[in-house]
Amino acid sequence: MINKIAMARSAVVIDPEYLKHDPGRGHPERAQRIKVLLDLAAELGAAFARIEPRAATHEEIEMCHVREYIELVRSTSETNGFALDGDTVTSRDSFGVGLLATGGFLRLLDAIAAGEADNGFALVRPPGHHALPDRAMGFCLFNTAAIGAQYVRRRYGAERVLIMDWDVHHGNGTQELFYRDSSVLYMSTHQYPFYPGTGAAEEIGASEGEGFTVNVPLPAGCGDEEYLRVFRDVIVPIADKYRPEWVLVSAGFDPHRRDPLAGMNVSESGFAAIADMLVRLAESHAGGRIALLLEGGYDLKALKESVAAVLRSLRDRQLGDAPAPGGAAIEPLVRHILRVQEKYWSL
């Protein structure tokens, strides 16, 4: 049954400035990713409010990164082709674009908190979820999702923030930042074993944060049915128990079947169905507050079409029952994760 409530006022953060970070010729995390999303934003016109980004302040970046690291990234603005890590390379504009990526997400959070938008999607680059407190990693400079979670805690007093990370890679940076922290629930679906190597089901957090990290390591080849099963049977039931006040999403589109870097088979409508479930979750617990942030996704056509499908989910709020998934092949994995998590969530 579909309970269609009023369309949401959904906002998009995007800006041509995001084209300026240049990690070098042939790099998959390239400016064209934003170019196709600027085209999409133009096609969508007035259907989505457009929010101008701002640069994050150093104090905001310092909520998740050490000062020496921020200084190191700043120092790269004097040169092109500075390799912070084997595959994380900066150009003169990268530091500024990195601040604008994080600040763009914070602007979206402010717009939602102020009621100027119901929900939204920050279409920014570079991505952030591999970035560690003291170093760059995996195309990522600053951990925007993690900084966003700290921001809503400090600025808006949030006590329970969910970060859902559906990028095909495990968000090791985000996990690390909140591993001992119960005020942020980090949940990730990712290909495993795969880059960056972390994200086993048994990584569940430690000390105060024990039970507040939920990893769903999926074998290569999973598609819509397997993802929907995981969201229906693991992600949503745990999130329902947690009752997040904010839902932040590290939205990578590299689980798409066309993606050149990974081996999953998710379709545009699969991403839309996942987004529907998260919108419903936010409506149930978080006053509808859900903010998505672009992480990976390296096939331009898949990226544009998937973002378009997810934006429709945000705006149209089709709050019906979740689609019945297949995905029986991963039933043993689902049972294993529920066994690992049940003592924390009485599932």
| Distance, CA of 28 to CA of 253 (rounded, Å) | 13
- CB 192 → Zn ion: shortest distance, Å? 13
Q: Which of 55/216 has CB closer to Zn ion?
A: 216
- Catalytic entry in 21, 65, 130, 256: 130
List the one residue from 29, 60, 93, 167 that touches Zn ion (CB under 5 A): 167
| Distance, CA of 190 to CA of 145 (rounded, Å) | 16
Q: Which of 87/245 has CB closer to Zn ion?
A: 87
- CB 217 → Zn ion: shortest distance, Å? 14
Rule CB under 5 A: is residue 165 a binding residue for Zn ion? no
- CB 26 → Zn ion: shortest distance, Å? 18
Stretch that binds Zn ion, among 63-71, 76-84, 86-94, 161-169 (CB under 5 A): 161-169
Note whether 85 and 72 are within 8 A (CB).
no
* Number of other residues whose CB lies within 10 A of the CB of residue 26: 6
Kind of pairing between the strands at 88-90 and 82-85: antiparallel
Q: Which of 199/252 has CB closer to Zn ion?
A: 252
Q: Which of 149/294 has CB closer to Zn ion?
A: 294
Length of the chain: 347
- CB 295 → Zn ion: shortest distance, Å? 6
The alpha-helical segments, DSSP class H, found in the chain are 32-44, 58-61, 67-75, 94-113, 144-156, 172-177, 224-230, 236-242, 268-285, 300-316, 331-345
Rule CB under 5 A: is residue 252 a binding residue for Zn ion? yes
Tokens of 299: 């096939």
* Number of other residues whose CB lies within 10 A of the CB of residue 94: 24
List the one residue from 33, 169, 258, 317 that touches Zn ion (CB under 5 A): 169
Note whether 131 and 65 are within 8 A (CB).
yes
Stretch that binds Zn ion, among 12-20, 146-154, 167-175, 199-207 (CB under 5 A): 167-175
Rule CB under 5 A: is residue 259 a binding residue for Zn ion? no
Stretch that binds Zn ion, among 46-54, 246-254, 305-313, 326-334 (CB under 5 A): 246-254
Sign for the pseudo-dihedral over CA of 304, 310, 315, 316: positive
Note whether 69 and 134 are within 8 A (CB).
yes
Rule CB under 5 A: is residue 254 a binding residue for Zn ion? yes
| Distance, CA of 68 to CA of 70 (rounded, Å) | 5
- CB 175 → Zn ion: shortest distance, Å? 14
Q: Which of 296/327 has CB closer to Zn ion?
A: 296
Number of residues lying near Zn ion (CB under 5 A):
5
Residues of span 268-327 touching Zn ion by CB under 5 A: 296
156: Cα within 13 Å, side-chain hemisphere: 20
Q: Is 130 a catalytic residue?
A: yes
- CB 59 → Zn ion: shortest distance, Å? 28
- CB 80 → Zn ion: shortest distance, Å? 24
| Distance, CA of 288 to CA of 66 (rounded, Å) | 33
Residue 202 identity (one-letter amino acid): E
| Distance, CA of 173 to CA of 12 (rounded, Å) | 25
Rule CB under 5 A: is residue 217 a binding residue for Zn ion? no
Stretch that binds Zn ion, among 53-61, 165-173, 210-218, 221-229 (CB under 5 A): 165-173
Cite the active site residues.
130
- Applying CB under 5 A, which residues contact Zn ion? 167, 169, 252, 254, 296
